[in-house]
């Protein structure tokens, strides 16, 4: 079969060895892909550097959830069910196994033991105010836990324990996003968290802060009040936040009102200028007619 070049990655070439079945599938975020692979060096010996079959089970990944190297998603989502393909990747693409062998090729216990390390690295980065990097560590830890959780029966003790481990990591991720002013990201993640943990005080608080930052007053007040309802000891904090919200909304109101009146003033000035120019034109026209009449 002919070689196909993947346009998103000019350094990648694909050759289909065995055609798959059916149309090219749609792979929405979260789609689970199960596949076997070999990684070989492009040398005379075609040295095998990794082989999923030697691990005794296929590799598994979730689209949009696990890959740090975009090229891997591009490779896999270009394939049909049952297809066998060979890919050549230029060195600039990177080592395709440098990350995935460390994550989705891990056994359950390896994944669970890696999570606390990622958590600690994230905390250390937060202390250095490297919030973007810290968020990546927390997110990776969450994804590892969700990968393990996907193999458990929903509602079972192990499933629920994993869910509880995810909560502080998600909250830390949301805090990093608040620091980075990624408020809609906070709202999305906090909402997903609160759908599963409706008594999570910190989740409501972080979502309230994000709503307040994007002027969603009704939603911010609702979440702040829920914080006070779930934890009465935080009533004074909530009172301060609500007072600050009221001040910000009042300030926004006056700013918008001033902007409105300034816009009207500019429009009135423009109308007055247009009116004056119209009058001047009429007077000029009348004067020309008077001169013309006098000539006769």
pLDDT of the residue at 43: 75
pLDDT of the residue at 279: 53
pLDDT of the residue at 110: 81
In the chain, what are the domains? 5-89 (3.10.50.40), 105-242 (1.25.40.10)
> H or E segment at 50?
strand 48-51
pLDDT of the residue at 27: 84
Hey, what are 195's tokens? 């759908």
Q: For every one of its 296 residues, what pLDDT tens digit does the chain have, with 9 covering 90 and above?
A: 455 666 566 677 888 888 888 888 888 877 888 888 888 777 777 787 777 777 677 777 777 754 545 567 778 888 888 899 888 776 546 444 334 445 656 778 888 888 998 999 999 999 999 999 999 999 999 999 998 998 899 889 999 999 999 999 999 999 999 999 999 999 999 999 999 999 999 999 999 999 999 999 999 999 999 999 999 999 999 999 999 999 988 887 777 776 666 666 666 566 666 666 665 566 666 655 554 544 43
d(CA 286, CA 138): 79
Q: Residue 130 in 3-state DSSP?
A: coil
Q: What does DSSP assign to residue 83? A: -
> H or E segment at 211?
helix 201-213
d(CA 116, CA 189): 21
Whole-model pTM? 0.57
């Amino acid at each position: 079969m002919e070689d196909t070049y993947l346009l998103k990655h000019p350094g990648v070439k694909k050759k289909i060895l065995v055609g798959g079945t059916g149309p090219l599938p749609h792979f929405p975020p979260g789609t689970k892909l199960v596949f076997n692979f070999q990684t070989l060096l492009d040398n005379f010996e075609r040295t095998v550097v990794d082989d999923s079959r030697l691990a005794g089970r296929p590799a598994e990944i979730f689209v949009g959830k696990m890959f740090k190297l975009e090229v891997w998603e591009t490779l896999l989502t270009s394939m049909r069910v049952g297809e066998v393909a060979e890919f050549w990747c230029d060195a600039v693409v990177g080592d395709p196994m440098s990350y995935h062998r460390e994550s989705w090729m891990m056994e359950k216990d390896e994944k669970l033991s890696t999570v606390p390390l990622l958590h600690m690295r994230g905390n250390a980065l937060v202390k250095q105010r490297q919030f973007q990097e810290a968020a990546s560590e927390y997110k990776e830890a969450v994804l590892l836990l969700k990968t393990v959780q996907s193999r458990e029966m929903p509602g079972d003790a192990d499933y629920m324990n994993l869910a509880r481990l995810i909560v502080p990591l998600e909250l830390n991720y949301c805090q990093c996003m608040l620091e980075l002013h990624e408020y809609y990201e906070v709202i999305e993640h906090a909402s997903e968290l609160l759908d599963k943990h409706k008594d999570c005080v910190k989740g409501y608080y972080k979502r309230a802060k994000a709503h307040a930052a994007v002027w969603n007053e009704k939603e911010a007040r609702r979440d702040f009040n829920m914080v006070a309802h779930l934890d009465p000891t935080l009533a004074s904090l909530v009172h301060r936040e609500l007072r600050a919200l009221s001040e910000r909304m009042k300030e926004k109101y006056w700013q918008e009102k001033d902007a409105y009146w300034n816009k009207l003033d500019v429009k009135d000035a423009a109308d007055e200028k247009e009116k004056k120019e119209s009058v001047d034109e009429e007077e000029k026209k009348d004067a020309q007619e008077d001169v013309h009449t006098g000539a006769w």
